[in-house]
Amino acid sequence: MTGGPKILMTLGAIIFVVGFLMQFIHIGRLPGDIIVKKGNTTVYFPIVTSILVSIILSAIFYFLGKFR
């Protein structure tokens, strides 16, 4: 396999592993995430969680690109 199918299989495996791990590791609702509750409506802005996930993914892709 070369090119497209290999990339799709790798991305699928990564998404599967991340989804599996998220069942056991709750990274949401960190300090700094904004939760607005008004009446029976709740709006959640996961700012710190997004920054943390971005840093982790950037590091992973940096190291994958370095060893390629």
Q: What is the pLDDT of residues 27-51, one digit of tens each?
A: 667 788 899 999 999 998 889 888 9
Output the pLDDT for position 36.
93
pTM of this prediction? 0.58
For the chain, what are the domain ranges?
A: 4-66
**Residue pointed to by tokens 């971005």:** 54
